Structure 1
């Protein structure tokens, strides 16, 4: 894009976003062209050890010394063979940011790469820095790296789950398509600004798109997303606002792990606020087979992946800091949200190195070639309490064989005893004689011995029941507590698959 001088009225963030949207529409009207930019020969075979030894020079950060935000760039190569274009918008002028090797240090194994970057045309990605925890140090707050992935982190947190610009055909038999951001425009913020704007052009064989990200950093980190999507080809499943995370094992697991840690996960549950105002909590699992479920809704109020347990003693991991992993909430704010569902994908994993959890919104109508859609939503980073006013919540989910110890005639191993503990909200400070009831139903199998009791600490209540599954059919369970017949908790939702044993 040629630079435009400010005395020609210049570019604004708004006019530039309109231009990027027009570029996306134009791309969708022609055949897909894979990224042409390639690395110079000397950078094409970078190894893992070499890549991790390449360091950006902080003193060369974009906007350094001119405000609260700074930008550092990632070197192309290794897993990122297609450089991404970078530009700035300042004083009405758009200017490209060229790749320069002297922006980086080539330490240890990477020393042989110095001087091999002539002809490189872009970067792998970038990260935004901001004084998030103390005024003296600018922490990473947002990172764009790889395909359409980006990560956010709030005060006191460590990176965990990822966000994506778009998901296409996730867990589909024909395979998933991974759209990628091809070019970015970074709008320079004011010296004391706590908000910065990033524009991006996305492309893939099926979809092109224009994105605007307005990042606000501080005690609360949030991003307002505005995106226009254009279908180049028919899309089987279009995932909006996808969140990607990891669940290896935890309190809802039914298989033993030979591990000193009691739980290992970046997120432990999917939370949904429906258009009708119902809060739903669905504990995550590491299944034996791929599980895909959809929570049907219309005009959703929000959804997110949540790491509720925030105490070190719950994890005992001094390296991974799972107790500091962020939670993230999606709040629709406009556009083509309507009838559809929040889809949750759970994929088996043998260790914690694989992201095996994905959640996103899927519209009930197909996205066909030639169509366009527009979505606006807010991404909010939090610890354990999402935006809004959630009711009393689930604090513990456990299950096991439904036998009574020592019983002479125990039931089959397939019979399950569940305990679900709730706390907070309207349950707080209730006496032991409060009229707490249980609403429980299942899609299959039979329920028995349904009880509710106050927990010994007086801070919550336990619902417990037996599930006798119907042969090999999955049982979709829903449970909530009531006070004087009125629901006072979120809805606990869990699917039991008999083949998990």
Structure 2
């Protein structure tokens, strides 16, 4: 955390005086001017000096055990704007344990930035919670935003910013799942990954009736600084418009823009490896890409036995995201985790992003507590040091069945599920891909249980059988089944798609089979 030795502007008492009737606001300890370019200028200035890690909080906070950390929690009755008739409230998280370095949090009001003091009285705790040293300049570990949805009497949370440059959000009827980050650096590289930090937040105080709230963030790391602006609109889906400006200290030859982080342990494709009563465990089950050529690519996620990286070359992608398409409780049989209510997250670039790849990194994992999936846009050319690099994009935390579903081609059927296992004779692998209903496929005739009139494309550098198309009475769509023989190969890239009269009627199904 950056320390300031002199408080500028008016005192906390003077700040609180004229607004005491408006809110039980946590105390301010300094105020400074704030404008549209304030954070960008700070990021640019910071990039011109050597990286200096922020101070850590006192050892008593850092050494908290997991149980001790949980004995202290924010009292939502003390939320920022809790006594104002606003649709938004903001909670604060205390530092310690996994968050050894705190962040500064400011409230922006009428062109001024007002830094929040660390106030232990905002928190509640159990009787046996440890005694801890308190310093009003210590800062917090992050923030949580809550919104009063139509018809509700209370505010419900919809977004959290906490830890490194991580943040996550949910729609009104969803449970938390995957996360996003401000920037990913060298993900999956042999020399290790670098994790930039958001070191300061500015939250603009909303006005009555505002449908959205704006959060600014300053990022710092050994390789780059950055300025971020998030305009966040809660609702059935949570929508974010992100403006990201990066100032590299060194040439960034492996930068991940709009990175997404999720968990995939198993589903029908690798179920035998996990002796668990639940049929599947994952926050996301596939990567969806709408590429610049207009194709919809669906890549089911995998939990490999060794790190694997997939790159989908593109130019000016229309969008990409990690999706959760399994939406029934019975898909998971988990009454507590509610995996079927986890959000999908769609990234829609604004403006031209040029050439690059959508990159998918899949990390071996043996427990559902670990995030092991990362997806992001990697520009083809390095981001040069000493220059400004700007990216804008829209994020939609939603699912594909709501009225605010991510944009997509509507003339191709979605992949609903992928099943995989040994064939009846145990001498090859059988793949069964379930596609959603599609009017063109629905209109085709059947003969002896097989659909006629469609062309099946199956791509693989191994022997495959011709594809068989059948109706799936449960899904109401079409199932494509085929076999492939990997021989002595340890990895096989597969591609499948259905055409009618030369036109694609399904997404492109992609999969990397690996020997386990």
TM-score by length of 2: 0.89
- What does 1:432-471 align with in structure 2 at a 5 Å threshold? 432-433=445-446, 435-442=453-460, 444-457=461-474, 459-471=476-488
Establish whether residue 401 from structure 1 lines up as the match of residue 400 from structure 2.
Answer: no
CA distance in 2, matches of 1:312, 1:463: 25
Which consecutive aligned stretches of 4+ in structure 1 deviate over 3 angstroms post-superposition? 1-6, 425-429, 431-434
Establish whether residue 79 from structure 1 lines up as the match of residue 92 from structure 2.
Answer: no
Establish whether residue 421 from structure 1 lines up as the match of residue 405 from structure 2.
Answer: no
- What does 1:102-501 align with in structure 2 at a 5 Å threshold? 102-110=121-129, 112-113=130-131, 116-132=133-149, 134-253=151-270, 255-334=272-351, 337-385=353-401, 386-390=405-409, 391-404=412-425, 411=427, 415-427=428-440, 429-433=442-446, 435-442=453-460, 444-457=461-474, 459-472=476-489, 474-497=491-514, 499-500=515-516
Distance 1:287 1:217, change over 3 A: same
Native 8 Å contact 2:176 2:342 kept in 1: yes
Native 8 Å contact 1:205 1:232 kept in 2: yes
Native 8 Å contact 1:293 1:343 kept in 2: yes
Helix, strand or coil: the match of 2:35? helix
Alignment deviations for residues 173-214 of structure 1 (CA, whole Å, 9 cap, x no partner): 000000000001110111111201111100000010000000
CA distance in 1, matches of 2:406, 2:391: 20
Match of 1:39 among 52, 57, 62: 57
Helix, strand or coil: the match of 2:198? strand
Native 8 Å contact 1:132 1:154 kept in 2: no
Helix, strand or coil: the match of 2:384? coil
Q: Which residue of 2 aligns with 1:18?
A: 37
Distance 1:383 1:123, change over 3 A: same
Native 8 Å contact 1:158 1:326 kept in 2: yes
Helix, strand or coil: the match of 1:471? coil
* Gap regions ≥5 residues in structure 1: 405-409
Post-superposition offset of 1:226:
0.1
CA distance in 2, matches of 1:240, 1:421: 32
Alignment deviations for residues 119-146 of structure 1 (CA, whole Å, 9 cap, x no partner): 5420000000012474212111000010
CA distance in 1, matches of 2:248, 2:422: 49
Helix, strand or coil: the match of 1:449? coil
Native 8 Å contact 1:43 1:113 kept in 2: no
Q: Which residue of 1 aligns with 2:66?
A: 48
Alignment deviations for residues 45-74 of structure 1 (CA, whole Å, 9 cap, x no partner): 222111111111212111113200000000
Helix, strand or coil: the match of 1:83? coil
Distance 1:477 1:210, change over 3 A: same
CA distance in 2, matches of 1:287, 1:186: 40
Native 8 Å contact 2:62 2:99 kept in 1: no
Between 1:250-259 and 1:423-432, the stretch displaced more is: 423-432
Q: Which residue of 2 aligns with 1:407?
A: none
Compute the RMSD of aligned alpha carbons: 2.2
Q: Which residue of 2 aligns with 1:58?
A: 76
Distance 1:174 1:487, change over 3 A: same
Native 8 Å contact 1:281 1:394 kept in 2: yes
Between 1:294-303 and 1:87-96, the stretch displaced more is: 87-96
Between 1:319-328 and 1:391-400, the stretch displaced more is: 391-400
Post-superposition offset of 1:147:
0.2
CA distance in 1, matches of 2:252, 2:200: 23
CA distance in 1, matches of 2:101, 2:200: 11
Native 8 Å contact 1:17 1:212 kept in 2: no
CA distance in 2, matches of 1:41, 1:292: 39
CA distance in 2, matches of 1:59, 1:91: 25
Native 8 Å contact 1:133 1:139 kept in 2: no
Post-superposition offset of 1:458:
8.0
Post-superposition offset of 1:11:
9.0
Post-superposition offset of 1:16:
2.5
Q: Which residue of 1 aligns with 2:23?
A: none
Post-superposition offset of 1:428:
6.4
Give the number of equivalent residue pairs: 481
Post-superposition offset of 1:2:
4.8
* Gap regions ≥5 residues in structure 2: 1-6, 16-30, 447-451
Post-superposition offset of 1:343:
0.4
Post-superposition offset of 1:223:
0.4
Q: Which residue of 2 aligns with 1:100?
A: 119
CA distance in 2, matches of 1:376, 1:447: 43
Distance 1:326 1:108, change over 3 A: farther
Distance 1:247 1:427, change over 3 A: farther
